[in-house]
Every structure is written in C-alpha cells, then in structure tokens.
C-alpha cells in the first residue's frame, strides 16, 4: 500500500493505539517480551482488533532499518491521517494557537517541533509540501507520540494559507533576528500563528512579507542562533504564559 508509513517504539505506537487505532494496518512485536509496557500494547491492540505479528528481534531490526524500536513497530495507513485546517479552526473553543514551519527539512527538527507543539497546546502545525520534512518513522520516534496527536497539515501554497489565516483574524508573527520587537517585550495576539524558518536561512522572502510583525528572540550569550525546536518552545511558552495571566 503506497500510503503505508512506519512507526517505531512505544511512544508512537501507544499514541496511535489510543488516538487513531483504525489507521493501524498491523503491529510487529518482539516474541517473548512480557514486560508491563508490552502487555499494555498487546491488551490495547486486542481491544481495538489490531492485527499483531510476533516476530524476532532480527526482523524488527530490518523493518525499522536498525532504529531503536524497543521491541515494537507498526505500519499505519497514512491516508487516514489527513486533517483539514478548516476542520481544526472551525471546532476550536479558544483562540487559535498555530505553529508554521517554513523550510524545516530535517526530520529530527520536525519531530522535536511536534513534541514542543503538543506540550504547549498548539492546535495545528502547518508546513509547505515542498522543501519540508514529511512525517516518517524518524519524526514519530523523535516526537515521542506527538506526531500521532498534533495535526500536521501540509499545504501547497503557504502564502495563500497565510492570507486565509488573516481572513480569520489570526495574526501572523514571524521570528527573525531583525524583528521590530523582542520576545520579552511583545504582547502576543489572542489568535496567533507563529512562523519559524530554518536555522541559518530563516523564513523565505514571500513568507516574511506575509507576516504582520516580526519578533526576535534575545540572545544574551555568545551563540547567534538556536535550534528551531528550541526557538519554537520559547515563543509558544511565552504565548501560553501571557494567556494564563489574562484568564
């Protein structure tokens, strides 16, 4: 099946079992493992009628391409993953908090960003289809389950999507070292989409032009830049801090 995608390890498998078990094609588990984590996976898989194949560690190594699989890997139908941005926004009962990733091609960075997004209550992560890391086993592994619960929406035309967000009264705030304000003196709008560019290259020109404002992250030490997931964590945490003070 062309839409099949591999997930690896307990975090990714458990998240999928609890959030979207119908998307699981089959699970492969290491024969002979009887620890509590494996018993929980097997019990949930049985309850959801998910097909389980018991196999040896060598086959799991092959399936996972020698990634650290913890004795469990699965194949999912990625076509059952699709989430539409309008569906997300139409069903919110609080101001939207979105994370837009422009040009993030490293799957480890994407996985870390999804993990941060889940921790900080982001409603959706948006990225262009071109020049972006897609969801794969590495992303799911690094995200520790967040890739299975945070909507990750890829769009054909990011500039058009930014315009559509503005039509919904969502402010587009880019992060840039030359921003007109810094994060410590910036009041985040209630409805906001934070835009993060790749480390070094930053946002693409057209993306930058669609931002309502640019905000810098103060760098008080000797380093000149941060990993994108660290930067995302800082701006999202500050946004949630401000929201908590307003309630």
Is the separation of the CB atoms in 2 and 33 below 8 Å?
no
Annotated binding site: 197, 217, 226
Annotated binding site for S-adenosyl-L-methionine: 197, 217, 226
């Amino acid at each position: 099946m062309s839409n099949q995608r591999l997930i690896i390890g307990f975090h990714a498998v458990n998240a999928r079992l609890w959030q979207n078990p119908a998307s699981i094609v089959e699970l492969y588990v290491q024969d002979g493992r009887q620890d509590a984590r494996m018993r929980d996976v097997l019990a949930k898989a049985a309850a959801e009628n998910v097909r389980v194949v018991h196999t040896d560690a060598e086959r799991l190594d092959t399936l996972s391409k020698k990634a650290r699989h913890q004795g469990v890997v699965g194949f999912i139908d990625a076509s059952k993953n699709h989430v539409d941005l309008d569906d997300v926004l139409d069903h919110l009962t609080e101001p939207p908090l979105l994370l837009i990733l422009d040009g993030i091609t490293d799957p480890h960075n994407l996985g870390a960003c999804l993990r941060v997004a889940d921790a900080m209550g982001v409603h959706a992560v948006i990225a262009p289809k071109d020049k972006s890391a897609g969801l794969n086993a590495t992303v799911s592994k690094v995200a520790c389950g967040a890739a299975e619960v945070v909507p990750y929406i890829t769009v054909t035309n990011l500039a058009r999507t930014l315009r559509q967000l503005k039509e919904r009264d969502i402010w587009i705030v880019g992060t840039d070292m030359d921003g007109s304000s810094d994060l410590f003196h910036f009041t985040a709008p209630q409805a906001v989409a934070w835009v993060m560019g790749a480390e070094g290259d930053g946002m693409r020109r057209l993306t930058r032009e669609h931002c309502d404002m640019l905000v810098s992250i103060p760098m008080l030490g000797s380093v000149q830049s941060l990993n994108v997931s660290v930067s995302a964590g800082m701006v999202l945490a500050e946004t949630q801090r401000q929201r908590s003070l307003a309630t």
